[in-house]
Every structure is written in C-alpha cells, then in structure tokens.
Amino acid sequence: MSLFTRAISTSYHVFKKYSTAQLLSHSLKMTSTLLNSNVWESDPELFEIVKKEKQRQLKSLELIASENFTSLPVLQCLSSCLHNKYSEGLPGQRYYGGNEYIDEVELLAQKRALEAFNLNPEEWGVNVQSLSGSPANFQVYTAIAEPHGRIMGLDLPDGGHLTHGFMTATKKISATSLFFESMPYKVDPETGYIDYDTLAKNAKLFRPKVIIAGVSCYSRALDYKRFRQICDDVGAYLFSDMAHIAGLVAAGVTPSPFVYSDVVTTTTHKSLRGPRAAIIFFKKGVRSINAKGEKVMYDLESKINQAVFPGLQGGPHNNAIAAIATALKQAQSPEFIQYQKQVVVNAKRLASGLQERGYKIATGGTDVHMLLVDLRNVKLSGAKAEKILEDISIACNKNTVPGDKSALNPSGFRLGTPAITTRGFVEKDIDKVVDFIDRGLKLALEISAKSGPKLVDFNRLAEEDSSFKGKISALRKEVEDFCVQFPLPGVADY
C-alpha cells in the first residue's frame, strides 16, 4: 500500500469513529475560535507590525499636514457591528432589507454635518457616503461637469491637489484631467499668493463649468468672495474642497466656503479628526434669477446622490458613517474649538520660528494649519530634507514650491500642526520642534556637502558613514525621548 493510500485509509477510519453530531460540535468550536479570538492570538505576526506602528506614532513628530490622531469613539465605531451591513441607496430607499438602524445612523450623520457647519437644511443638503476625498471630488465632477466638461483648479506645483485636474505638458496624471478638460490657475511666483486677476482673465477665455477653490499645500485663507465673483462672470459652479481646513471651518477660525459655494467637499480625517471618509455638501433652493425674472432652482441633490450611488460606488461603509457622526458631535464642543485655535497658533509659531533660523516660508507665513518651507535659499532639496527628518523620527513630506518642475525632486517640504496639537503641544513645545528641524536640516547640509547632489548618494552616506550615523542616532533619540511625554488618543497598545 502506498503512503498516499495508507493516509487516505487512516483518515477514513478516524472519520468513522466520530458521529455527525461530534463532528459538527468540533466544527462549531473551530469556527467559534476563528470568529472570536483576538487578533494578537489569531495573527500575532500581523499584530506585531501593528504594535510597531503604534510605537512609531508615539515616538515621532507627525508633521504631515493631512494627518491626525483620531479619537477613541471614532475607532470604536470603525470596529463595530455596523461594518457587517450592506445598505446600497439612501435612508428609506435601500436596495437591501434590514436597514432600520443603519438609516438612523446615516440620518444622524447628515444632521450633525449640517449642524457642525451651521447650515440651514432648507438651503443645504449633504451626502455622507463617499469613501474618501478623491472619490468624492470625482463624484462632484461627474454630477455637475459631465464628461469632458471644463474645470479649473489650482495647479499641483502651486499648492493644488491631484484631483483638481493635474496634468503635465506630456501626460494627464490625474483621472480628473483624463475625463474632464482641465486648465490650472497659478500663484504669483513672487508672493506665493493665488493670482486671482489672471484666474479671472483665463476663466473668461476658457469658460469652465466648474472652478475649484481648494488646496493641498497653500498656507493662506482663500478669498471665496472673489472666487464667487469670477464664477458668476462666466456662469460656473463654485466647488470648494475644504478637506484640509474642515476642522478650522467648523470651529470658526478660518473663513467658511459655504457663504459663496455651490458645492463643498471635505475629507473627515484631517483637521476634522474623524475617520478616513468624505462628505459632499450641495446647495438647495434658488440658484439665480433669469432675465425674465424667473427663479432658477438648484438641481444638485439628485445629480450628486446618483453620482455617488449607483454612479461611482456601491454600498457605503456604515462603520465609517457612524464614525463621521461621532466626530461631528465632537466638532461642536468648546474643547474642539479651542483645539483648532491652538492648531493655528502652533502653525504660526512654527513658521516664525523657522524664519528666525533663516528658512524661507512660502507666502511669508500661514493663516491656517500648515506651512511650506522653501529650501532654495539654503541649497537643500525637499527630498533630502524629508529623508533626514524621517531618520530622526520627524514625519513630513517633500513638496513643490512655485516654479518647481518636478514633484519627485522638489525644493521644499510641507509641515502641519493638527496631529501634534492633538497630542497637547503648545507654543513652548513648538519651539523645541523648530530646534529639532533646524538641527536635522543642518545635518542634512553636512551630509550633502560630502555626498554631492544625488539623493541616492546622500542616502547611502547617511546610512553607511559612521560619523553621520552616530549624529543621526543621537538626534533621533532626543526627538523620541521628547515625543513619548505626549500621549496618543485611542487604545494603548494598538
């Protein structure tokens, strides 16, 4: 008898020893273990990675402007039973049964979204189902621009976002520029401020259907009134993407886009400090009065809702919608308002501190939660700055400055204060952050002087030269020892 045949025979005789009931009981126990064990028991390999990421967050300075540390209630919603339910459609109009309580959750999120931004439900509607910011923006274009409709957004090298229509001279980078006709507007290369006058002139020539007021790396408050005037001159919708500043808007510490906009989108995980998701707001009621004196009404509600589902996504993530709802409740609290004020105070302190050390800040400062450091005057690339800061446990991102040609080898880096402010940083702590950044950049200049201009040589020298390795290690320890004094919200270990 072969080994294979013997194994089959043995398995058969073992199987015969047990009754069907015994086998079923054994199967149920196995299933119960699979379903109810903790991840640290069922998948310790994965859990070890999660714990390492938790330690990285605890021991590092998170200065990426689009990141934040969300609250325990948000995390609890994200891991709740709401994840299990499928609910295509809107409340009261579902394609699946069993959505009685899911409807309650979504309606609560809609209600709180309007309340958090002081919106009249007779004038504004809201969709809370978008899975993230980029899909939300594409859903808006689909609804109001239609294929090959013309749009204008701030150019990516000037501080705009990929989803606002970025393309180069040779390639359409963003799907937004692929499916819609995109023309960028720019900042003044001298001041770094948006050039509204040139935008107005170009809009009259291009005749866009949508003008986007939104940024990814621009540190000044937007002039929504001027945007509105430009849109009215050419008959365009004003679409404001407030993803970065939503928390500041809710707290009233920066101008609100709702006064002048037709559509507003936001992610909920940046300054708003919620889950990774997005919201679309749309205007209702009278849009304009025509030449005959007749009211022209908005028709955005059905267009946007249908673009979300069934147009561009299926069932919403109900756990994320619940997390949006609880984050929006927090956004209406006095503590949250004070937090947002401190975010801006910290950003201004960070900008002025770096300026005092000789670094150039685009636009000369900031009105919001972020700033752009222009390194051209110190002869250091943004990529090298990002690398050395990461090596000393400071997380930021390289970023183009006005006039840059390459997003991969830019001349600056972006900093933001929402995450460290969540951890309790105030002005005196920001001064320490400035010192760490300055020392890190000066170390980068030392390495660069020896390595030459190429990033690959810079990285190799930083990793292999014993003198530089020692300096990096010592500075990283200082940063990490400083950071662990500030707690993270959420669960202690993961």
In this structure, what DSSP letter does residue 311 have? I
Work out the angle between the directed axes of helices 318-330 and 100-116 (0-180°, nearest 10).
30
User: DSSP string covering 173-236, please?
Assistant: -SHHHHHSEEEEE-B-TTT-SB-HHHHHHHHHHH--SEEEEE-SS--S---HHHHHHHHHHHT-
Alpha-carbon distance 458 to 448, whole Å? 6
Catalytic-labelled residue, pool 77, 217, 231, 396:
217
Q: Distance of CA 66 to CAs 38, 293, 350, Å?
A: 31, 45, 16
The two structure tokens encoding residue 259: 């006064």
Alpha-carbon distance 195 to 184, whole Å? 11
Query: Phi/psi class of residue 107: alpha, beta or left (left: φ > 0; alpha: ψ in -120 to 50)?
Result: alpha
217 catalytic per annotation: yes
Which helix (H) or strand (E) element contains residue 395? strand 394-395
The closest of 121, 442, 59, 66 to 281, measured between CA atoms, is 121
Residues in the chain: 494
Instruction: Return the number of other C-beta atoms located less than 10 Å from residue 103's C-beta.
Output: 16
Work out the angle between the directed axes of helices 427-451 and 455-464 (0-180°, nearest 10).
100
244 catalytic per annotation: no
Alpha-carbon distance 113 to 191, whole Å? 36
Catalytic-labelled residue, pool 161, 164, 244, 269:
269
Query: Catalytic residue positions?
Result: 217, 269
